[in-house]
Amino acid sequence: MCEPIKVGILGLGKYLPEKILTNKDLEKIVDTTDEWIMSRTGIKERRIARDNEATSDMATEAARRALEAAKLKPEDIDLIIVATITPDMFFPATACLVQEKLGARTVPAFDVSVACSGFIYGIAIAKQFIASGVYKHALVVASEKLSSITDWTDRNTCVLFGDGAGAAVLGPVDRGGILSTYLGADGKQGELIKLPAGGSRIPATKKSIEDKLHFIKMNGSELFKHAVRIMADAALQATKPIGLKAEDINLVIPHQANVRILHAAAKRMGLSTDKIYLNIEKYGNMSAASSAVALVEAVEEGRIKRGDKILLDAFGGGLTWGAIVIEW
């Protein structure tokens, strides 16, 4: 019998827009303070894309860097998945735009729309195609321009979000790689965070714009409670079937929604907080791009060593969630 194909990450890349919006800047826009934002969320600043910079532009730049790191060319890619809730437009899919910008072959390209869990869903999908031998190399990009769907007059949400992109090239590896994947969703909780208009339910009208229905609406405190429970449970579901305990994980790369959520989830998992990688201070919540950029930076900073077992863990609108264990 053939050995199963092990799948791992061959290269990573990120792109963050240059413009930095600090909490002090936000103090001038809405009724908030640097102290409130820092103490309640852990966010100090976030990046904001240029007006003429769309999700596919950021995705393409992150993807180019991931390909370079993997020492591969765009023509080596057999599958392109973009995780985003801020696509350039409804269709074509942002993944198709990225394929064209990269100069990749006419390989399958599609978006996944599961909010902050998108990078993890993308990796889990790509892994199946590679493990089954259908494709060899997959590009998974998480890219978000959340500033384009943020209500800059709503202090409950505008202090939280930022823009950016992270990308991973997946392919066969000799050892380690992705050890387990776990995904879930609960549509009953969909009301907790959503963008109400612009789809077929409420197409764009003058009224939908006046009613500010094209911006993120969120019940923050309810989401907070679900997030803590979901992240701890997802970690368990991804580790237990492969015989790992929380203490076997060297580093958790979580979705960066709120430092308080991550500390509470770590406690529930029985992990010390120094095992939770954090970069929320610099970027805020970039939805799907958060865990992708966090993974890139954890590697850049030397926080992940060969042989380490890392846990990607995310939750988001839908609600959706997912966790992945990777042996580096």
Task: Tell me which stretch binds ligand UT7 (CB under 6 A): 32-40, 120-128, 206-214, 305-313.
Answer: 32-40
Tell whether residue 265 is a contact of ligand UT7 (CB under 6 A). no
- The answer to whether 58 and 145 have CB atoms below 8 angstroms apart is yes
Annotated active-site residue 285? The verdict is yes
Tell whether residue 232 is a contact of ligand UT7 (CB under 6 A). no
Question: Smallest distance, Å, CB 159 to ligand UT7?
Answer: 4
Tell whether residue 138 is a contact of ligand UT7 (CB under 6 A). no
Structure tokens, 80 = 């392109």
Question: Smallest distance, Å, CB 187 to ligand UT7?
Answer: 16
Name the catalytic one among 96, 226, 255, 258: 255
Tell whether residue 85 is a contact of ligand UT7 (CB under 6 A). no
Q: Which is nearer to ligand UT7, 114 or 244 (CB)?
A: 114
Q: Which is nearer to ligand UT7, 27 or 76 (CB)?
A: 27
Check residue 287 and give left, alpha or beta (phi > 0: left; psi -120 to 50: alpha): left
Tell whether residue 316 is a contact of ligand UT7 (CB under 6 A). yes
Annotated active-site residue 255? The verdict is yes
- The answer to whether 220 and 193 have CB atoms below 8 angstroms apart is no
Place of tokens 């437009």: 89
Residues that bind ligand UT7 (CB under 6 A): 32, 36-37, 40-41, 116, 155-156, 159, 193, 218, 220-221, 223-224, 227, 257-258, 285, 316
Active site residues: 116, 255, 285
